[in-house]
Structure 1
Amino acid sequence: MSKILIVAEHLDGKLNASTARCVSCAQAIEGAEIHVAVLSDAPDAVAAEAAKITGVAKVLAVANAANAHPIAQVLAPQVAKLAEGYSHVFGPSTTFGKDLMPCVAALLGVAQVSDVMAVESAHVFKRPIYAGNAIITVEAPSSMAVVATVRTASWPQAGEGGSAAVEAASVDAKLPEHTRFVELKQGKSDRPDLQGAAKVISGGRAMGSPDAFKIIYSLADKMGAAVGASRAAVDAGYVPNELQVGQTGKIIAPDLYVAIGISGAIQHLTGIKDAGTIVAINKDPEAPIFEIADIGLVGDLFQIVPELEKAL
């Protein structure tokens, strides 16, 4: 029987939805026993949230002052120690997971399986390559632990209703001294988190300036949506890079994705291909974005977006 350890992603005492998506992936392995590890300086609140996820059998709460900030080099030795006795170690394919899981794999001496989008069996997985234009089947050695990142856009959130036991875990691992937290600089916003939002409004290079991007923020606030951007808009300095959607940004799967002034480069389409409904607004009727859009509107965004907001 497979015994799977999922590393929980959390921030400011709240569990990230990516963890529940990892649980859905783990449930696709028949007969798997699923445990969730919460590493923090004060893990109780997050552990209680994780215990409610359907399908989780146990939550391991690791309290350590060094875990106050999610530093991969600090967390990895602890996860590697916790991984003893587990057949699989999963983390989300988010910025957090992409930073942490390769370190865990290196410490365990195994190759990582990245971006798991489908499970064939306990050691056979499918993942996208070539910007999502091809799907490859990967078989991991059954003699070693499987360390993998889960493509969160490909999996639904596991439901709530579980009542897993929460167990305080002590980890005897030597932590590095060469890597330490200095400070965190991030934009503050009351909008939903881009990675897990149900609705996302994104702007592209056609916005023309940071000031013009205000109409995207305004529409998003009206709709209760997160804000995203194309790489071109980020490179032009219109918005910070944490808003970038696409192959080199965030891969998302909202119920509704509205692309405004985005032409639809393949790298951007890779990040939104799992979205429920895609709406595109662009003045170029030949823009590639219209090839995948469920609803397309050709016209001047600076006229259409204010009208749309007024109608809402």
Structure 2
Amino acid sequence: MRPVLVLADHTVTDRSVCRSTGALLTLARRLGPPTVVLCGPADPADIAMLGRFGATRIATVTRSELDEHPAAARVEVLVQLTRRTTPAAVLVASHRLGQEVAARLCARLSSGLITDVVDLRRGADGPVGVQSVLLGAYRVESSVTRGTPVFTVRTDAVVPVAAPVEPVVERVEVRFPPAVRAVRRIARRSGGAGLRPDLATAAIVVAGGRGLGSHQSFGLVGALAEALRGTVGGSHTATELGWCPRGQQIDQLGTIVHPRLYLALGISGSVRHRAAMQHAEKIVAVDRNPAAPIFDLADLGVVGDVHRVVPELLAEIARRKATR
């Protein structure tokens, strides 16, 4: 049986393998024995985590190019490993870097790409990717008809399931052509938001909208995300008003999220916003308008002023942390 290549995901803070890779491995096992492509040294804790979710082989690549040229170098690694191993499929997490890597990989391999899958299964003619479309009203099944299938996966839509094995760890040598070095990262700058999990794969998302009233009040979103160790997002309106960066916009034209907990602060809930967050496991909404559409999706709705509700919530979180 042909292997399945899985590009490991790393956390922003300590560069350890993050939980989204467990979701990738859960789906990869349905197609064949997973081979994890680990861009960095093989830390014992990472090896144990990958083995717990069924990685039969771990291919490590330790080169400075992976940090200096993150997208191009990862594409080159996957291209060379794909040509060496002829895998049944390649799986990548569906976030900004993952989407870029997957698209460039397919261009290099002349292969088909299916994005934002929420499930995978083995079909009669190869892997079948399942996508959730039109506000979740339909599930679309698609397959690649040429080359090695490449899938980007919405990892927070997948429940990681353990299947412990003892992985074989192998260091892989990759030659990087000059073209990889055409674009180089010269600096890394991060503020508070940069230390949080990536928005597309975060387990907890706190989002703010027009109801916060001002850029200064939008700081409540960051404060609550910090207290819950979550990630900040914003509605289309909040982005247009300049209260949050474009990269944190949650809607059909921005980022689609599948967190375990989604908190909407001052967001009425437009169709495009609801389409991007409706599959969160638990939704908590705070808004002054009791008729706001966001309450139709909320597991818990609070009709009230966010400027009063959020500070009280922050105080309660602080009290509970202090008594631990």
Aligned match of 2:62? 63
**Gapped regions of structure 2 (runs ≥ 5):** 318-324
Change in 2 beyond 3 A, CA 1:163/1:250 = farther
Give the residue type in structure 1 aligned to 2:103.
P
The superposition leaves residues 176-218 of structure 1 with CA deviations (integer Å, 9 ceiling, x where unpaired) of 1432223333333597424444333221122122211222333
Aligned match of 1:230? 235
Aligned match of 1:138? 142
Written as runs of structure 1 = structure 2, the 5 A alignment for 1:30-45 is 32-40=32-40, 43-45=41-43
Give the residue type in structure 1 aligned to 2:153.
V
Per-residue deviation, 1:163: 3.3
Give the residue type in structure 1 aligned to 2:293.
P
Percent of residue pairs identical:
27
Aligned match of 1:170? 173
Written as runs of structure 1 = structure 2, the 5 A alignment for 1:98-113 is 98-113=99-114
The superposition leaves residues 125-176 of structure 1 with CA deviations (integer Å, 9 ceiling, x where unpaired) of 21134465533221222x6311111121221234485531210011235241
The superposition leaves residues 193-252 of structure 1 with CA deviations (integer Å, 9 ceiling, x where unpaired) of 244443332211221222112223333344444332223212211123343333333333
Secondary structure of the 1:248 match is coil
Task: Determine the C-alpha separation between the residues in 2 that align with 1:219 and 1:174.
Answer: 45
> 1:188 aligned to 2:187?
no
> 1:149 aligned to 2:147?
no
Give the residue type in structure 2 aligned to 1:59.
I
Secondary structure of the 2:56 match is strand
Aligned match of 2:273? 268
Task: Determine the C-alpha separation between the residues in 2 that align with 1:226 and 1:214.
Answer: 13
- Using the size of structure 1 for normalisation, the TM-score is 0.87
Counterpart contact for 1:50–1:59, Cα < 8 Å: no
Counterpart contact for 2:68–2:184, Cα < 8 Å: no
Change in 2 beyond 3 A, CA 1:102/1:49 = farther
Change in 2 beyond 3 A, CA 1:38/1:273 = same
Counterpart contact for 1:74–1:175, Cα < 8 Å: no
Task: Determine the C-alpha separation between the residues in 2 that align with 1:228 and 1:82.
Answer: 36
Task: Determine the C-alpha separation between the residues in 1 that align with 2:301 and 2:219.
Answer: 22
Counterpart contact for 2:6–2:35, Cα < 8 Å: yes
Aligned match of 1:115? 116
Change in 2 beyond 3 A, CA 1:101/1:298 = same
Counterpart contact for 1:17–1:196, Cα < 8 Å: no
Secondary structure of the 1:113 match is strand
Give the residue type in structure 1 aligned to 2:28.
A
Counterpart contact for 2:233–2:249, Cα < 8 Å: yes
Change in 2 beyond 3 A, CA 1:189/1:53 = farther
Per-residue deviation, 1:100: 0.4
Per-residue deviation, 1:259: 0.6
Aligned match of 2:72? 73
Q: Which moved more, 1:120-129 or 1:144-153?
A: 120-129
Aligned match of 1:257? 262
Counterpart contact for 2:61–2:171, Cα < 8 Å: yes
The superposition leaves residues 95-119 of structure 1 with CA deviations (integer Å, 9 ceiling, x where unpaired) of 1111101111111111211111122
Counterpart contact for 1:25–1:150, Cα < 8 Å: no
**Gapped regions of structure 1 (runs ≥ 5):** none
Secondary structure of the 1:212 match is coil
Aligned match of 1:21? 23
- Using the size of structure 2 for normalisation, the TM-score is 0.84
Written as runs of structure 1 = structure 2, the 5 A alignment for 1:74-93 is 74-84=73-83, 85-93=86-94
Superposed CA RMSD in Å reads: 2.6
Aligned match of 2:283? 278
Change in 2 beyond 3 A, CA 1:39/1:210 = same
Task: Determine the C-alpha separation between the residues in 2 that align with 1:104 and 1:247.
Answer: 24
Aligned match of 1:218? 223
